[in-house]
Amino acid sequence: MQYIESSDHMTIQENVSLKAYNTFGIEASARYFVETSSTKDLQQLIKTPLYQQQELFILGGGSNVLLTQNFEGLVVKMSIPGIEVVEENENEVVVRAGAGENWHEFVLHCIARGYGGIENLSLIPGTVGAAPMQNIGAYGVEIKDVFESLEAVDLQTAELKVFKHEDCKFGYRESVFKNVLKGKYIITQVSFRLSKQANINTSYGAIEETLKEMRSQSNYKARTAIEEVSEAVIQIRQSKLPDPKEIGNAGSFFKNPVLSAEKFQVLKTDYPQVPGYPLEDGSVKVPAGWLIEQCGWKGKKVGNTGVHSKQALVLVNHGNAQGNEVRKLAMQIKDSVWQKFEVEIMPEVNII
């Protein structure tokens, strides 16, 4: 590893291992690597000759990426910190956070201050900056429900632009930053409008059941409603999803497919047990994990990789897996689901 260009706050390094920067624990390297900790750093970087000559890869928490090869361009690790209240009244608060803040730590920070709205999104891996990009969601809540605005830097001009809710075109695990504006901006700050009044959502998944179990235990400690929901979500996620520190993974590898009402009825006729969640537009969301499990993949080991034994949506690195091994397994799973159900499942993870 060698240093090729630096300023007071920023050093561009050469030939850097990315193993520690992706939760799959895949060994791959970056030709050039730089960590930015302020918007000013980023704007300065964009004006450098090296930046302008290289292909770019923006890295947040590395929890939603599968590296299948060395990256021959410039990897920019987003590490902008900071959490502050920018607007407040007796009912609501707007909290702004740096893109490099750990998402779960940010959720806990807000819960500790009585700011509700993101407690159902506890323990989702990744950074604040990545959250609106793919409109992260869990247990009936999505980022779009609490999103206020974000700041992003134009990757060509280095100018700072503010994006409001309508500008982001949020969809299921989608935003304008994954489509029309992909590769054109880097998110630097995100603001969320949260509530000071507990307005909890416990209707999705096993939250209600988990809350009952928690309250029935002899060592139960009274806590606020949003603290309770957060704790329930954490318990559910920990029971289903492996810790990347213990076994390499990127959480849910596939998105849940959304089917037309007609297509779902055909599927339901052939497979009466198939679960489905109706959406506002009349379409139906089907759990990809259920489809994968029916194809016999749950708990299956293939070489150095495999499918987690408790959650069929999660692909894992059993040790020394290469990115292409994981990708090959993902494609085999995708093909088998199509052959059995004629339903296409798409990766949620970014494959590089």
Helix axis angle, 207-216 to 225-240, nearest 10°: 110
Say if CB 314 and CB 64 are below 8 A apart.
no
Per-residue buried b or exposed e for 126-141, using 16+ beta carbons within 10 Å of the residue's own CB: bbbbbbbbbbbbbbeb
The secondary structure of residue 216, as a DSSP letter, is: H
Bridge partners of 11? 6
User: What is the phi/psi pair of residue 36, to 5°?
Assistant: -110, 135
Which tokens sit at 327?
């990708």
Residue 29 tokens, joined: 């390297």
Give the strand pairing for 137-138 and 141-142: antiparallel
Q: Across the strands, what pairs with 285?
A: 258, 277
What is the spatial distance between Cα 291 and Cα 273, in angstroms, rounded to a whole number?
A: 11
- The set of residues, in sequence order, having a beta carbon less than 8 Å from that of 35 and lying 6+ positions away, is 10, 11, 76, 77, 79
Catalytic residues, which ones? 173, 252, 348
At which residue do the structure tokens 């009912």 appear?
Answer: 91
